[in-house]
């Protein structure tokens, strides 16, 4: 059975602002790096996007995956909070819409399909793979060919201000 170790990170210059995600995938003696950036997004969206893009690369559903994130938002969201959100039709306990629901739905689908063990690690604490994921994310956020984060644009336009961004 294949095993993959993944390190993910998201970054945002301002929050909201230009953002990026970085991913380091390792299996055996192979290492793959992924990154991408968006013109106007949030750090939490980039943390989620890093996990989504990482898991989308896994082709074999029986692969054992250890995914490391420095985001407690992602780790707790996918392991603790998501079942409640789903049972409440993507509403919080305060009956408000779950922020970033579009990305949580994607991440949940991938998590259900794959064998993922979720690990939290302290960011900027010297772990070389976490630092590499951070460098990929911050470099992507500073890039000149950033994409539109369509969902966040819809959220901003629908609410009429950036005050509701997370």
CB-based burial of residue 145 (10 Å sphere; 0-12 exposed, 13-18 middle, 19+ buried)?
Answer: exposed
Q: Quick check: 131 and 137 in contact, CB under 8 A? A: no
- CATH number, position 103: 3.30.420.10
Q: So what's the pLDDT on residue 165?
A: 27
Domain that holds residue 29: 3-159
pLDDT in tens, 50-68: 999 999 999 888 899 999 9
Q: Is 155 a catalytic residue?
A: no
The residue annotated as part of the active site, out of 14, 60, 124, 148, is 124
Least Cα distance to 19 among 2, 43, 1 occurs for 43
Q: Is 66 a catalytic residue?
A: no
Number of domains into which the chain is organized: 1
Q: So what's the pLDDT on residue 142?
A: 95
Q: So what's the pLDDT on residue 1?
A: 59
- Residue at 105 is within a domain: yes
pLDDT in tens, 117-128: 999 999 888 899
Rounded to whole angstroms, the Cα distance separating 111 from 103 reads: 12
Pairwise pLDDT comparison (139 vs 151), residue with the higher score = 139
Q: So what's the pLDDT on residue 94?
A: 93
- Residue at 21 is within a domain: yes
């Amino acid at each position: 059975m294949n095993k993959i170790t993944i390190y993910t990170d998201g970054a945002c210059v301002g929050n909201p602002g230009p953002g990026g995600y970085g991913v380091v995938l390792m299996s055996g003696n192979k290492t793959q790096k992924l990154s991408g950036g968006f013109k106007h997004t949030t750090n939490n969206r980039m943390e989620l996007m890093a996990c989504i893009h990482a898991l989308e690369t896994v082709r074999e559903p029986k692969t054992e995956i250890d995914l490391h994130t420095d985001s407690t938002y992602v780790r707790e969201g996918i392991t603790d909070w998501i079942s409640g959100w789903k049972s409440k039709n993507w509403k919080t306990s305060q009956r408000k819409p779950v922020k970033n629901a579009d990305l949580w739905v994607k991440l949940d689908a991938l998590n259900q399909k794959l064998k993922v063990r979720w690990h939290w690690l302290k960011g900027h604490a010297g772990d070389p793979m976490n630092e590499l994921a951070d460098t990929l994310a911050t470099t992507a956020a500073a890039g000149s060919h950033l994409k539109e984060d369509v969902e966040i644009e819809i959220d901003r336009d629908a609410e009429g201000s950036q005050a509701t961004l997370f």
